[in-house]
Amino acid sequence: MTSRSRSQITPLFVDASPGRRFCVLHEPPETVPCKLGLVYVHPFGEEMNKSRQMAALQSRRLAEAGCAVLQIDLYGCGDSEGDFADARWEIWMQDIEAARAYLNGLHRVPIGLWGLRLGGLLAAHVAAQSADRYGSLVLWQPVVNGGSFVNQFLRLRIANEMLSGGGRLTTEDLRAQLAVGQSVEVAGYMLAPDLANAVADVRLDRMALAGAKIRWFEMVDDESAEPSPAVLRIRDELGRQGANVAVRTVAGEPFWQTIEIAECQPLLELTADAVTGLQ
């Protein structure tokens, strides 16, 4: 039997609570030693679907370089069990732990997390709560303030109401609805109060990530653009707390929100180089 010369891609289900989570496992070729594992944490809502192509391309490239990647659909998302209306931040954190345990059972190597947008904030939160389990974080355009993210998500509902000629709905109206325990429908997703409140409470600059190696990538319009002052402030704050943080800007489209599916080859290349340095 010949050895596997290319990375192996395996769809599977991982047991979690409640139900099971659909995952895609990317493993290195048999001729390439596996030195690191990453659990990929996808973004929120429709951003997850827009980003699947980039996540798959990056996972394959990382696997070919000796990094096993487990992509997981969180509870109520994608092809995993459960309804989005029942999704909770705590369940998603437990999902990541289940994915880590599964990947670590296959490859006895250090396990890190790789997250995009809200998935980046979620990954950082999990790492902060389990500092002994995750030494590496790869962040693609992470949400840094959960409260601001929830407001931006609610504004999608406002925009849709305006386009359809509806009444003058405001974010305050939707916040009031959440405050009394009522879910809010936004762009086809039923946002539960418990999930909205949990997301709103999380901020990246409040994470205890001492000792973590963080490789942070921000998409910009121009190659010469620097990270925003807000990003630099958070980088410095995490550094003061003992994290090893490197921020890179990458010129390209925000593929998680483009109308057509978009790719960014420079991001794939820079991320592969950064992950190789973490091994």
Tens digit of pLDDT for each residue in 112-136? Answer: 999 999 999 999 999 999 867 888 9
136 lies in the same domain as 14: yes
Amino acid 3: pLDDT: 47
Q: Where are the beta strands (DSSP E) in 66-212?
A: 67-72, 111-116, 134-140, 184-186, 189-191
> Within this chain, do residues 150 and 260 fall inside the same structural domain, yes or no?
no
Q: What total of structural domains would you count in the chain?
A: 2
Q: What CATH code is carried by the domain that includes residue 267?
A: 3.40.50.1820
Q: Please say whether the beta carbons of 68 and 27 come within 8 A.
A: yes
Same domain, 75 and 186: no
Is residue 45 located within the same domain as residue 61? yes
- End position of a domain, from candidates 132, 167, 201: 201
Query: DSSP class of residue 203?
Result: B
Same structural domain for residues 86 and 26?
yes
* Below-50 pLDDT ranges, the chain: 1-3
The whole-number pLDDT of residue 131 equals 66
154 and 136 co-located in one domain: no
Residue where one domain finishes, among candidates 167, 201, 235: 201
User: Within this chain, do residues 234 and 110 fall inside the same structural domain, yes or no?
Assistant: yes
26 and 124 in a common domain: yes
Q: Domain span at residue 274?
A: 8-144+210-278
Judge whether 25 lies within some domain: yes
Burial class of residue 29 in the structure, from the number of CB atoms within 10 Å of its CB (0-12 exposed, 13-18 middle, 19+ buried) = middle
